[in-house]
Amino acid sequence: MSDVATSPALLSARSLSRDFTTRAAGRFWNAKRVTHAVEDVSLDLYQGRVTAIVGESGSGKSVLARMLARIVTPTSGQLVFDGTTIEPHHKRGLDYAAQVQLVLQDPFASINPIHPIRHCLERPLLIHGATKDDVAALAGAALTRVALDPPERFLDRYPHELSGGQLQRVSIARALCVRPKVLLADEPISMLDVSVRLGILNLLKGLCVSEQLAILYITHDIASARYLADEVIVMYAGQIVERSFGTSLVDEPAHPYTQLLVASVPDPEALDEARVVGQHEKLEVATVGCRFAPRCPHAMEVCRTTSPPNVELAPGHVSRCWLHTREAHASLRVNARRVDEGGDI
């Protein structure tokens, strides 16, 4: 598990952004509202490495994954796949689809309920050029790889006859069966039971090493990211707020949001510790300055006006927060004085 990649990145995101325009509710007739689902995100996926993205619901992880899979068109930014730059308007070919596979969050939604499991595995194989004679064996082998064993027990069953966990394993099998180079796994284990979770995590790690897959592992389970990933990236409100290699991000979280994340994990070893969490009345995301400021216990004057800089705290460990800068200390003092004077922060 090296911190420094030796080979060039297989798939890179260069300043990817995606906006969604929704009709704002109520008062203003025809008012539009723009959601910056993903903003200026850059990351590199390497062969044989797992990169984890951790973030809360709505932080843009799925939109990012869909842009990497080229199912969602970026508003701006480029992808670089295997050395080739892809602009947002370029058409996605079948080849890209086979090489970059996406596993979705909700197996109930992602698997067609009207066909048996066999169909959902054989279809992508046929589309991607397997022969009719091979598909049955390949489909069975794919199920075995995700511990649905023996495959005959599952191939002719319908999705509603499987439990949620069994179904999610089918969708991972479906992605693996076309032998992709990049696997984008969007919360692949969030609906799985514990023992299978570990099995899948170990499976992903194994595939990553043995088949040199580049894996993007999206999760809200920061402990599993710590367990699996070579690099952990934390997203908040569409932006990357912290990233680091190995376990250091979880062990020494620097960004206030990451600290909140780590403190929120159920931890029976720390039952008596007071659970401090953000107040959800303040869920709104700031549009100026630091997006986390409305929920941040350390928010300062500068945070509300100016976007914080990326600060490299240790090699590869980057956090986007004013607290890490010199300016912050001046600002902190200003802030404290204002509180004393009962001034409006």
Partner 1 sequence: MSALERSDESPQVDALAAPVGPAEKEAPSPFVLDVHDFSVDYGVGTQMVTAVRDVNFSLQRSKVLGVAGESGSGKSTLVYAITRLLRAPGVIRSGSAILRVALPDGHGVEEFDLVQADERTLRRVRWSHVSVVLQSALNALNPVLRIRREFDEVLKTHRASMTKTQRRERSVELLRMVGLSEDRLDRFPHELSGGQRQRVMIALALALDPDLVIMDEPTTALDVVTQREIINELNDLRSRFGFAMIFITHDLSLLVELADDIVVMYAGAIVERASALELYDAPRHPYTLGLLNSFPPLHGARQELTGIPGSPPDLAQLPAGCSFSTRCPFVMERCRRESPTLISLDDDHRQVACWLHEPGASATVPVELSQRRRAATSDSDLATAESK
Ligand X SMILES: Nc1ncnc2c1ncn2[C@@H]1O[C@H](COP(=O)(O)OP(=O)(O)OP(=O)(O)O)[C@@H](O)[C@H]1O
**Within 125-164, which residues bind ligand X (CB under 6 A)?**
160-164
Residue 260 in the binding site for ligand X (CB under 6 A)? no
The nearest distance, CB 23 to ligand SF4, in angstroms, is 30
Other beta carbons within 10 Å of 259: 17
**Within 199-258, which residues bind ligand SF4 (CB under 6 A)?**
256
**Within 260-299, which residues bind ligand SF4 (CB under 6 A)?**
290, 292-293, 296, 298-299
**Within 31-90, which residues bind partner 1 (CB under 8 A)?**
55-59, 62
The nearest distance, CB 59 to ligand ADP, in angstroms, is 4
Which among 62-70, 74-82, 95-103, 131-139 is the span making contact with Mg ion, rule CB under 5 A?
A: 62-70
Residue 295 in the binding site for ligand ADP (CB under 6 A)? no
Give start and end residues of each alpha helix (H) in 150-235. Answer: 152-155, 164-176, 194-210, 222-228
Alpha-carbon distances, residue 141 vs 91, 236, 259 (angstroms)? 32, 38, 42
Residue 59 in the binding site for ligand ADP (CB under 6 A)? yes
**Separation between Cα atoms, residue 345 and residue 338, nearest integer Å:** 7
Residue 147 in the binding site for partner 1 (CB under 8 A)? yes
Residue 252 site contact among ligand X, partner 1, Mg ion, none (CB < 5 to 8 Å, cut-off depends on kind) = none
Q: Given the structure tokens 């010199």, which residue do they identify?
A: 326
Give the pair of three-digit tokens for residue 67. Answer: 């842009």
At residue 8, what are phi and psi to the nearest 5 degrees? Answer: -65, 160
Comparison of 10 and 290: residue with beta carbon closer to ligand SF4 = 290
Query: Which residue, 252, 99, 90, 81, is CA-closest to 182?
Result: 99
323-342 mask for ligand SF4 (x: CB under 6 A)?
Answer: x-------------------
The nearest distance, CB 331 to ligand SF4, in angstroms, is 9
**Separation between Cα atoms, residue 199 and residue 75, nearest integer Å:** 37
| Strands 231-236 and 182-186, sheet pairing | unpaired
At 159, the amino acid letter reads P
Q: Which residues are registered as beta bridge partners of 22?
A: 33
Number of helical (H) and strand (E) elements in the chain, helices listed first? 13, 12
Element (H, E) at 32: strand 32-45
The nearest distance, CB 240 to ligand SF4, in angstroms, is 13
At residue 320, what are phi and psi to the nearest 5 degrees? Answer: -105, 85
The nearest distance, CB 288 to ligand SF4, in angstroms, is 12
Residue 63 in the binding site for ligand ADP (CB under 6 A)? yes
188-207 mask for partner 1 (x: CB under 8 A)?
Answer: --xxxxxxxxxx-xx-----
The nearest distance, CB 61 to ligand ADP, in angstroms, is 4
The nearest distance, CB 21 to ligand ADP, in angstroms, is 8
- The alpha carbon dihedral of 204, 206, 210, 216 has a sign of positive
Residue 274 site contact among Mg ion, ligand ADP, partner 1, none (CB < 5 to 8 Å, cut-off depends on kind) = none
172-191 mask for partner 1 (x: CB under 8 A)?
Answer: ---------------x--xx
Element (H, E) at 77: strand 76-81
What order do you get walking across the sheet with 76-81 strand by strand?
32-45, 11-23, 76-81, 84-86
Residue 28 site contact among partner 1, ligand ADP, ligand X, none (CB < 5 to 8 Å, cut-off depends on kind) = none
| Interface contacts to ligand X, rule CB under 6 A | 160-165, 193
| Interface contacts to ligand ADP, rule CB under 6 A | 20, 22, 35, 37, 55, 57-63
